[in-house]
Amino acid sequence: MRSAERVMRAVLLIALGVACSACALRPSLQPQEVAQSTSPAAPTADRGTPSAAVQAAAGGAAATAAPSADDIPAAARLAFERATGALATGRLDEAERGFLALTKSNPELGGPFANLGLIYRRAGKREQAAAQLEQAVQTSPQQPVYLNQLGIAYRELGRFTDAQRVYERAIELAPGYAAPHLNLGILLDLYLWDSGSALAAYERYLALAPDGDEKVRKWVAEIRNRKSQPQLVGMRERP
């Protein structure tokens, strides 16, 4: 199944949003869910249905610096653990309440906003999902994981130019993070019809995740085959 949001294999529970150049993930518990990963360097793939929304967080307003781990109050840590536990076990209403409370008590933390974005996306509330992910990026602008998730949200709302911009920003911040390379390739391939650039993005993804998804290798082979048969260009089925 080609669904671009199953970019990684385990449910993504995004961490509090402390300053960190590499990642901000909590390993997940349920396989094959939306936008998942045990580590930002080890995603798998999927190409899927259109979607995307949010304001231009990547273009935007001055961002609040993320706190260091030592600055996070113990009460906030405990509340976050409870909310992520609820999310991991499918108690989405409870998780939503917990993360919403954290966005009010500790608005300097990006993780609660990002997890709300995942909850809303799972519920089909794309505009709300994008708005929360934009806030996560504004709060923690150096987190490539948040940018990758925001790119997915923009794509789902049809804001393809914005999606491309934030994927590229995630890659700029963390070139070794495979997921945005894959999602950028999907965007270019299926939505922007730029197969040459998509091929390059897929190849970068495979270089970073050589044991990754065999489907991506098939997509690469498809593009190369199309490029070798010009008469077939433009005849691909849109999702």
The mean pLDDT of the chain is 74
Residue 173 has pLDDT above 90, yes or no: yes
- For the segment 158-180, the average pLDDT, to the nearest whole number, is 97
Rounded Cα gap, residues 162 and 93, in angstroms: 30
The CATH number given to 13-232 is 1.25.40.10
pLDDT tens per residue across span 41-71: 223 333 543 222 222 222 222 223 344 455 6
Rounded Cα gap, residues 125 and 200, in angstroms: 32
Rounded Cα gap, residues 33 and 88, in angstroms: 11
Model pLDDT, residue 227: 78
Phi then psi dihedrals of residue 31, to 5 deg:
-75, 160
pTM of the model: 0.71
Domain ranges of the chain: 13-232
Model pLDDT, residue 212: 67
Model pLDDT, residue 233: 46
Q: How many CA atoms lie within 13 A of 215 on its CB side?
A: 15
